[in-house]
């Protein structure tokens, strides 16, 4: 009993201490191209009073934590069959654990959890340990409803990633995409890991190219709801907004980071050109002035440069334009057909799809034009890459299964796996900024 109260006091003190007290180790170097996956163990949480509700919650929550960390691509999850001790029985705090039992099986990190459930309320303690240094590096206490399980686990994952990489995670981000399940192309959204898919539009007509505003509150897209390709700018929650309905096409919206303005291609002059618009659909400025198709803008994180597709040199290629000077330079010189560029939120790379031997593949190139690398190969058509808000993952659409599906991979092209599967075909993914209201 005495030990327990000391533990609790220590725990609370540790929680209360500012972050700077902990030495900051460089656990994961997110800029390294040869990322070693960090071995981590996530044992089943401990049901603190032994009730069956707690057991159920513990099982589910610890599995969810494991899966969510796995999704990031940073970790190698140690199989529970290899464990030499079980925190569920022994205890979840430093003093109860024997770290050699964990380093012995190759685990460099360990997460333990303790769960209390009363009625529909839950209290959960989560601790992240460095097993070699034998110390806790992150401890959190969450209180909420039992139904908040997913939200709690995601919050904790966000803290874990922040502690280990120094970068905000993706756990409260969403992905928008187009799906044909209803018989028409409509826009859907889902959580970053493919859960909770929800249909956003109900146009009963071709709807394409979703684009999130920086604050995650607005969605721009093109729809034939009124018979022609018009650009809709809609507040997601309040369902109000504007329509840009100029003659010709009104397509490929892309918001400027941190601003309530967006670029889009309009062809009312007879040629598709890129314009800058306010969030209420008014033209601020025309950005491209070359004869030929100019389409698919994407902005650098500082909003000062725009990459886009232009046919001005004869074939669709990717260009980068400085918005101050208006001068554009060509980025891609390999391949006859390069489109759907996406600028990494880290600012240094651009992902795009390129026609390669009759099929499309996702490529990544430095903004400087160097280090061109293909991330997909011999796997159907792979198009429309979109970066996660921390620049660590890329979602894209692929026809490798026959019907088009949304897949996710790391920024280096590893761990390619399907995000979700819905009736019909899924295309055109667009990853939201960091935090989107649920």
Which residue of 41, 97, 152, 309 would you call a contact of another protein, by CB under 8 A?
A: 309
Outline where 260-340 has alpha helix (H).
none
Q: Smaller CB distance to another protein: residue 126 or 254?
A: 254
Choose one: 9-17, 36-44, 66-74, 266-274; the region binding another protein (CB under 8 A).
Answer: 266-274
b/e 69-99 (16+ beta carbons within 10 angstroms → b) = bbbbbbbebbeeeebebebbeebbbbeebeb
Q: Smaller CB distance to another protein: residue 53 or 271?
A: 271
Choose one: 95-103, 117-125, 308-316, 407-415; the region binding another protein (CB under 8 A).
Answer: 308-316
Q: Does 425 bind another protein (CB under 8 A)?
A: no
Torsion sign across C-alpha atoms 51, 52, 58, 61: negative
Q: Smaller CB distance to another protein: residue 54 or 294?
A: 294
Q: Does 307 bind another protein (CB under 8 A)?
A: no
Least distance from C-beta 18 to another protein, angstroms? 48
Choose one: 10-18, 87-95, 150-158, 336-344; the region binding another protein (CB under 8 A).
Answer: 336-344
Q: SS3 of 10, please? A: helix
Residues of span 129-188 touching another protein by CB under 8 A = 185
Residue among 69, 101, 96, 100 at smallest CA distance from 84: 101
Which residue of 57, 156, 188, 360 would you call a contact of another protein, by CB under 8 A?
A: 360
Which residue of 249, 277, 406, 409 would you call a contact of another protein, by CB under 8 A?
A: 249
Compute the distance between CA of residue 10 and CA of residue 211 in angstroms, rounded to an integer. Answer: 47
Which residue of 179, 223, 353, 392 would you call a contact of another protein, by CB under 8 A?
A: 353
Do the beta carbons of residue 208 and residue 430 sit within 8 Å? no
Q: Does 337 bind another protein (CB under 8 A)?
A: yes
**What's the angle, vertex CA 336, arms to CA 332 and CA 342, rounded to 5?**
45
Least distance from C-beta 57 to another protein, angstroms? 43
Residues of span 24-53 touching another protein by CB under 8 A = none
Q: Smaller CB distance to another protein: residue 50 or 227?
A: 227
Choose one: 1-9, 288-296, 371-379, 409-417; the region binding another protein (CB under 8 A).
Answer: 288-296
**CA 61 centroid distance within chain:** 21
Least distance from C-beta 224 to another protein, angstroms? 8
Least distance from C-beta 428 to another protein, angstroms? 7
End-to-end CA, the chain = 41
Which residue of 131, 179, 201, 222 would you call a contact of another protein, by CB under 8 A?
A: 222
In sequence order, which residues have a C-beta less than 8 Å from that of residue 136 and are 6 or more positions away? 14, 94, 127, 128, 129, 130
Count of residues interacting with another protein (CB under 8 A) = 36
Choose one: 104-112, 235-243, 293-301, 413-421; the region binding another protein (CB under 8 A).
Answer: 293-301
Q: Does 197 bind another protein (CB under 8 A)?
A: no
Least distance from C-beta 431 to another protein, angstroms? 16
Q: Does 72 bind another protein (CB under 8 A)?
A: no
Q: Does 265 bind another protein (CB under 8 A)?
A: yes
Both tokens of residue 280?
A: 């209420």
Q: SS3 of 100, please? A: helix
Dihedrals φ, ψ of 352, to 5°?
-160, 175
Residues of span 369-388 touching another protein by CB under 8 A = 383-384
DSSP assignment of 38-89? EEEE-PPPEETT--HHHHHHHHHHHHHHHHHHHHTSSEEEPPGGG-S--HHH
Which residue of 296, 332, 344, 432 would you call a contact of another protein, by CB under 8 A?
A: 296
Least distance from C-beta 339 to another protein, angstroms? 5
The position carrying tokens 């071709």 is 206
Q: Does 208 bind another protein (CB under 8 A)?
A: yes
Compute the distance between CA of residue 216 and CA of residue 213 in angstroms, rounded to an integer. Answer: 5
Compute the distance between CA of residue 404 and CA of residue 380 in angstroms, rounded to an integer. Answer: 9
Q: Smaller CB distance to another protein: residue 44 or 293?
A: 293
Residue among 396, 338, 411, 379 at smallest CA distance from 177: 396
Q: Does 228 bind another protein (CB under 8 A)?
A: yes
Least distance from C-beta 380 to another protein, angstroms? 11
HSE, CB side, 13 Å, CA atoms: give it for residue 428.
Answer: 23
For residue 254, CA distances in Å to 96, 404, 409, 413 come to 53, 23, 22, 24
Q: Which residues bind another protein (CB under 8 A)?
A: 185, 206, 208-209, 222, 227-229, 247-249, 251-252, 265, 267, 270-272, 293-296, 309, 311, 315-316, 337, 339-340, 353, 355, 360, 383-384, 427-428
């Amino acid at each position: 009993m005495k030990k327990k109260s000391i533990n609790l006091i220590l725990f609370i003190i540790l929680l209360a201490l500012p972050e700077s007290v902990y030495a900051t180790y460089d656990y994961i170097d997110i800029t390294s191209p040869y990322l070693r996956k960090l071995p981590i163990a996530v044992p089943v949480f401990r049901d603190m009073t032994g009730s069956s509700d707690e057991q159920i919650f513990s099982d589910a929550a610890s599995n969810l934590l494991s899966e969510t960390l796995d999704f990031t691509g940073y970790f190698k999850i140690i199989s529970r069959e290899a464990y030499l001790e079980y925190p569920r029985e022994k205890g979840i705090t430093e003093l109860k654990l024997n770290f050699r039992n964990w380093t012995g099986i190759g685990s460099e990190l360990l997460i333990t959890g303790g769960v209390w459930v009363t009625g529909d309320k839950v209290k959960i303690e989560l601790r992240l340990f460095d097993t070699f240094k034998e110390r806790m590096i992150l401890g959190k206490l969450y209180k909420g409803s039992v139904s908040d399980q997913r939200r709690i686990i995601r919050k904790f994952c966000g803290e874990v990633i922040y502690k280990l990489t120094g970068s905000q995670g993706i756990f409260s981000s969403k992905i928008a995409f187009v799906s044909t399940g209803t018989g028409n192309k409509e826009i859907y959204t889902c959580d970053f890991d493919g859960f909770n898919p929800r249909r956003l539009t109900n146009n009963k007509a071709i709807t394409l190219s979703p684009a999130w505003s920086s604050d995650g509150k607005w969605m721009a897209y093109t729809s034939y709801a009124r018979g022609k390709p018009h650009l809709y700018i809609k507040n997601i929650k309040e369902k109000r907004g504007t329509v840009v309905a100029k003659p010709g096409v009104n397509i490929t919206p892309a918001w400027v980071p941190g601003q309530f303005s967006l670029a889009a291609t309009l062809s009312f002059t007879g040629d598709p050109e890129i314009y800058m618009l306010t969030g209420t659909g008014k033209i601020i400025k025309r950005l491209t002035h070359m004869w030929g198709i100019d389409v698919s803008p994407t902005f650098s994180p500082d909003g000062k440069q725009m990459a886009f597709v232009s046919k001005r040199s004869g074939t669709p290629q990717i260009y980068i334009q400085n918005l101050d000077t208006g001068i554009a330079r060509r980025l891609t010189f390999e391949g006859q057909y390069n489109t759907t560029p996406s600028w990494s939120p880290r600012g240094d790379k651009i992902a795009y799809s390129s026609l390669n031997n009759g099929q499309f593949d996702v490529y990544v190139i430095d903004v400087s034009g160097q280090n061109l690398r293909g991330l997909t190969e011999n796997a159907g058509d792979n198009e429309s890459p979109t970066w996660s808000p921390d620049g660590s993952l890329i979602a894209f659409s692929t026809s490798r299964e026959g019907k088009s599906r949304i897949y996710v991979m790391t920024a280096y092209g590893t761990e390619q796996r399907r995000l979700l599967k819905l009736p019909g075909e899924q295309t055109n993914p667009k990853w939201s900024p960091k935090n989107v209201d649920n």
